[in-house]
Amino acid sequence: HIKIAATTEDGERICRSYTPIATGPGWFDVMVKVYPEGQVSQYIHTMDVGDILQCKGPYLGEFEYEPNQYTRYGLLAAGTGITPFVGLITTLLQEITVPQVELIFCNKSEKDILMPRELADWTAEHKSFAVHHILSEPECPSELVMRGHINKTQLLGYLPKPGEKMKVLVCGPPGFIKHCIPLLEELGYTEEMYTALQG
């Protein structure tokens, strides 16, 4: 994570953590969704190119990637919980032996889906990657999108089966994680097989 600081109109200094979606020597990219009540996201949104942003980090997260550690990944994301997975997916698709990656991405409606073009491109370019959208309130009903909230049937249909050389990662709001973990455990996933990330 990278901590980004902002100063409110009242002079209060506040910090929020963001997960970089790409990094390099001396730089990083973050994806920021602007919320009406989000003080830091609103602050960033008002900045111009060349303005200085106070940052600190990076800080290690709950999951540390190791090349070729797993042959199958199941990624469960809700909303901005997709951000930790963007860099991971990019890295996995560049491995010599590309693992199978299944992403279940939950959002309220189509307009809330972050990086739709990139997700579509990865799906078209890599047979080992698939994305499955679940929308609680879809604007345009489609056979390509599941409606409602994530359930055991969907997990059974798309996640790698419990076993060796596989990993399930979960990231999203606390309520999403609290909903998903019991479902995974009911399906036989042990604590070694899944990791919940703080989005």
Helix (H), strand (E), coil (C) string for the chain: CEEEEEECCCCCEEEEEECEEEEECCEEEECCCCCCCCHHHHHHHCCCCCCCCEEECCCCCCCCCCCCCCCEEEEEEEHHHHHHHHHHHHHHCCCCCCCEEEEEEEECCHHHCCCHHHHHHHHHHCCCEEEEEEECCCCCCCCCEEECCCCHHHHHHHCCCCCCCEEEEEEECHHHHHHHHHHHHHCCCCCCCEEEEEC
Q: How many Å apart are CA 40 and CA 44, to the nearest integer?
A: 6
Tell me the whole-structure pTM to 2 decimals. 0.81
Per-residue pLDDT at 101: 97
Q: Which of 20-24, 86-90, 152-156 has the lowest mean pLDDT?
A: 20-24
- Which range is least confidently modeled, 9-23, 97-111, 174-188? 9-23
Tokens of 53: 């942003």
Please state the rounded mean pLDDT for residues 162-170: 96
Cα dihedral across residues 96, 75, 193, 187: positive or negative: negative
Position of tokens 């996640």? 159
Q: What is the mean pLDDT of residues 15-21?
A: 82
